Each structure stands twice: as C-alpha cells, then as structure tokens.
Structure 1
Amino acid sequence: MSIDSVTAALYAQALQSTVADPSRCTVPWVVCPEHGGTLKARAQATADGFDSWCTDFTCFNVWPHDRLDAARTEPATHTIQADNGDPYVVCDGHALTARTQITDGQALPGLPA
C-alpha cells in the first residue's frame, strides 16, 4: 500500500469516526495532548514503569503504557477542514500537529455545527 493510499484510508476512518462520535478526537494515532506529534514508546516495559513519553524538552508527560497503541480518549476541540471540504474533529494535540503538516486545509477551533 502506498503512503497516499494509507493516508486516504486514515482520513476516511477519521471521517467515519467523526460521524460515530463527534465529541472525541478521531485521528487513529495518539499524540502528546500538549505538544502534538512528539511521543516515543519503549518496546518493552522497564523498571521505572514508564513506557511512553513526550520528547519535548519542556514536557514532563509520561504514561505507564504504550500510548502510541492506546485508544484515543481526548475530547475533540478543533475541526480540521480538509482541502476537499470534508471536516473531521480532533483534540488539541492533533490540531497542533495538523497546523504544521496539512496543506490546503485548516485547523479551526471548535466543533462543526
């Protein structure tokens, strides 16, 4: 599967998730709620119990599980208006990441009407 087809599949999943639960972030991967796409995870649990952490040097967020593969629990706070016009909802961390990664689209505060 090419990167474009993977991206299209993830985008389609986000649109379906928005319809299913418009109050939850719909992006199928997890980010730091404060810094966006800055997470790292260990392959195996360690003695300190921290398996995921934010790599932003000002952040002290750590999680005692593999957050990269965890279910999303953050509330939706922003709407991504994609270049083709189909909106989907995301949390603060994904909105921050989207602003740096999307082209021909916008990350807008608030949920769709």
Structure 2
Amino acid sequence: MSTGSATAALYAQALRSTAADPSRCTVPWDVCPEHGATLKSTGGRAWCMDLACLNAWTYDRLDAACTEPATHTIQADNGDRYVVCDGQVLPGLPA
C-alpha cells in the first residue's frame, strides 16, 4: 500500500468513526491543540515540544485520533472535505 493510499485509508476510518459526532476533528492522529504538529511521544506518554508549552498527556496522543472540536473545513485536491481542529491547521515545528 502506498503512503497516499494508507493516508486515505486512515482518513476514511476517521471519517467513519466521527460520523456520530460531526463536531469533532476527523484527523486520525492528534496534535498539540495550541501549537499544532509539535508532539513527541514515548513510553505511552506525549508532550508538546514547543519550549513555551507545558502541555503533556499520560497517553500516546500521536497514535490516537484527534479529539479536539472541529473549527475548520479543508478541501483536498480531489474534492473531499474534512473538518479539522485549530491544532491541525497550525504549522508546528519545522522538520
């Protein structure tokens, strides 16, 4: 399975799992709600790597579907639309 089709499958699963609650973000991985894609995880815990942030979680938030409220609608190149939270639209730390 290619990376693109694997990502599409993850989004499809997230869309199905959030169908019962359309107010939730549909992204199948989580982010720091204040800083975006800045999470690090190990040993079943996660934390934000932004030096000014004190957000930390006692579970591996990276491997969990996002639970934040949906605030934006994103349209993919293929026309699909996804509802996402504030954290998913933030750039996060550069790679």
Same fold (TM > 0.5): yes
Instruction: Report 1:64-103 matches (<5 A).
Output: 64-97=58-91
Q: How many pairs align?
A: 92
Secondary structure of 1:72's match?
Answer: coil
Match of 1:105 in 2: none
Aligned CA RMSD, in angstroms, stands at 2.2
Q: Check 1:80–1:38 CA distance in 2 against 1; reply closer, same or farther (3 A cut).
A: same
User: 1-side partners of 2:15 and 2:67: how far apart?
Assistant: 17
Instruction: Report 1:4-83 matches (<5 A).
Output: 4-17=4-17, 19-43=19-43, 51-83=45-77
Structure 2 runs not aligned, ≥5 long: none
Compare the two structures and name the one with the higher helix fraction: 1
Q: Whose radius of gyration is greater, 1 or 2?
A: 1
TM-score by length of 1: 0.68
Percent sequence identity over matched residues?
72
Structure 1 runs not aligned, ≥5 long: 45-50, 101-113
Contact map agreement 1:35 1:93 (CA 8 A) in 2: yes
- Alpha-carbon shift at residue 88 of structure 1 (Å): 1.1
- Alpha-carbon shift at residue 61 of structure 1 (Å): 0.8
